[in-house]
A and B are shown apart, each in its own frame.
Chain A
Amino acid sequence: MDQTTKTWIFDDLDDLDDIDYEFEQDHEVEVVPPSLSRLAASDLAERTRLIDEYVRAELARVLRVDPHSIDTVGRPMNSLGIGSISGLELQRRMEAVLHVDVNLNMLLRANSAAELVDCLAGQLGPEDSPHKHARGHVVSHDLPGTA
C-alpha cells in the first residue's frame, strides 16, 4: 500500500483524534489457561465454570477489554466486537490450549459466548455429550492428522 495515498485521504478530515479513540482503549489481560487434567476430572458444572472463566479471559485479551465487561450470555460474538481476524485469533488460542478443533465460521456465528462454553464443556469431559457426536458444532475433538 502506498503510504502517501493512505495518509492523503485523511488530510482534510479534522477528527482523526476521534478515530484514534478506537485504538487507545487497549486493556492488557493475562490469561491463565485451565489444565486439561483438571477439566477432565471435574464434573460438568465445574468444568463449565472453568471454561467460562477461560473463554471470558481469552475474549477479553483479544478484544482488549476488562474480562468482567464481557457479556457471555445475551449477545452474539460480533456484538461483542469479534470480527474475522479477532475470531481467528480466538480460535487459534483456544485450540492451542484445549486441544480441540474450533470451527471458525461457527464461532463467528455463535449466538453467544455461552454457546461456545457449553460446547467446549461437553467436549472436554468424560461424559457422553451431543457435542461429541453432532456435526456442525462449534468444536470437535482433534482427529489424527488434523491438529
Chain B
Amino acid sequence: MSGDVLVRAAPATKAARLPRPGELDVWLVRRPRLDSAAERLELTELSDAERRRTASFVRPTDGITYASAHVALRRLLGAYLGRPPQDVPFVREPCPGCAEPHGRPAVAHPDPPLHFSLAHSHGMAAIAVSTTVIGIDVERLPRDETVEVCTPALHPGERQELEDLAGDNRREAFGQMWTRKEAFLKALGTGLSRDPGQDYLGADVRRRPDGWTLLDLPAGPRHNAAVAVLGTEAPKVGVRWLPVEALFAGGTVDLGTAAAMPAAPTTPAASAPATTTQGT
C-alpha cells in the first residue's frame, strides 16, 4: 500500500529495522518546556517547508508541538530505515478519491512497506509505525460546549451513547470516539472528506467498521488517543514515551529492546487501552 514512489530514496547507511509483521509501535511525544524549547529542539533536521510551518503558528506552543512532532518523526523513521533523519524519503500515496499524489503521507520503502501515521495536539504528539496500514489521532479533551455543538455531526449510534452520559464522562467519551474516528479516516486515506457521521466508532466493538481494529491508547490526563489498524487480528502493540532529550541537538532515538506487548483484548461492550512503557 505504499503506492507510487515519487522520489528515489538514497541508499540506507545502516540496516533497516522494521517492526515485524503483526506488530505495531506507538510512540508518544511531549513537547519540551516552553522556556528552552526554541534553543534545544534540533530544527536543522527539518525540511524548509517544515521549518516554515513551524514559524507560521500564531501560538508559539503550537509551533513547538509541531516541531517536536516532526523532529521525533524524522528521528524515529530514520532509526527504523537506517537513514539520517534529514534523509527520510517522504512521499505521498495516491489519493483514494482521484488517484493524484496527495493522499496519505508515506515513506519510500516499498518492500516490505513501512507505514506511519502522525498526530499532534496541544503539547502532545503520537506516532504509529507498522508494516500494515494504520492511522493515529490524539486530541486534547474537548470542552463541554464543544461536545454539545459537535455531537449532532456524529453517527446516530454515537450520538445515542453520548446522550446517556454527562459532564466529564461525556467529554471523555466524545474525545475517545473522535480520536477513533479520525484515526480510522486517516487509515482509510480519506480524512475528513468522508462525512464524520457515516461510520460508527463508538464503544461497541461489534458495530465498528468491518476489517479494521481500533485501539484506545493511554495519553495522559489531558488528551485522548486512538489508533486504527487494517485487519481484524489485533496487533502486538508496544506503546512507549519518546524521552524529550531525543528531540534535542545531539539526542538520538533508541528503538529499544522492550518486547511488544499484546494489545489489550477488546470486549463486545468496550475496548480496553493498550499499555505503556517509558522509552529508553
* Chain A residues at the B interface, C-beta cutoff of 8 Å: 1-2, 5-10, 12-13, 15, 18-23, 62, 65, 69-71, 75-76, 79-81, 83-89, 91-93, 104-105, 108
A91 CA to B139 CA in the complex, in Å?
Answer: 18
By the criterion CB–CB under 8 Å, are A6 and B191 in contact? no
A115 CA to B11 CA in the complex, in Å?
Answer: 42
User: Can you list 8 A-B pairs, Cβ within 8 angstroms, ordered by A?
Assistant: A1-B172, A5-B218, A9-B241, A9-B276, A22-B123, A79-B57, A84-B192, A85-B146
Stretch of B80-88, B104-112, B156-164, B219-227 that contacts chain A: B219-227
By the criterion CB–CB under 8 Å, are A21 and B34 in contact? yes
A20 CA to B221 CA in the complex, in Å?
Answer: 10
Chain A residues lying within 8 Å of B61, measured Cβ to Cβ, are 21-22
A22 CA to B56 CA in the complex, in Å?
Answer: 18
Chain A residues lying within 8 Å of B276, measured Cβ to Cβ, are 5, 8-9
State how many residues of chain B have any CB contact under 8 Å with chain A.
46
By the criterion CB–CB under 8 Å, are B273 and A105 in contact? no
A39 CA to B216 CA in the complex, in Å?
Answer: 45
By the criterion CB–CB under 8 Å, are B34 and A18 in contact? yes
By the criterion CB–CB under 8 Å, are B222 and A19 in contact? yes
Write the nearest CB–CB distance from B241 to chain A, whole angstroms: 7
Which residue of chain B is the closest to A108 with respect to CB atoms?
B192
A6 CA to B222 CA in the complex, in Å?
Answer: 9
Which residue of chain A is the closest to B241 with respect to CB atoms?
A9
Chain B residues lying within 8 Å of A7, measured Cβ to Cβ, are 220-221
A88-B57 contact in complex given A7-B221, A10-B220, A22-B123, C-beta closer than 8 Å: no
By the criterion CB–CB under 8 Å, are A71 and B176 in contact? no
- Contacts A19-B124, A81-B58, A84-B139 supplied; 18 other A-B pairs, CB < 8 Å: A2-B273, A5-B218, A5-B275, A5-B276, A6-B218, A6-B220, A9-B220, A12-B278, A22-B123, A70-B58, A75-B57, A79-B56, A81-B57, A85-B150, A89-B146, A89-B149, A92-B153, A105-B191
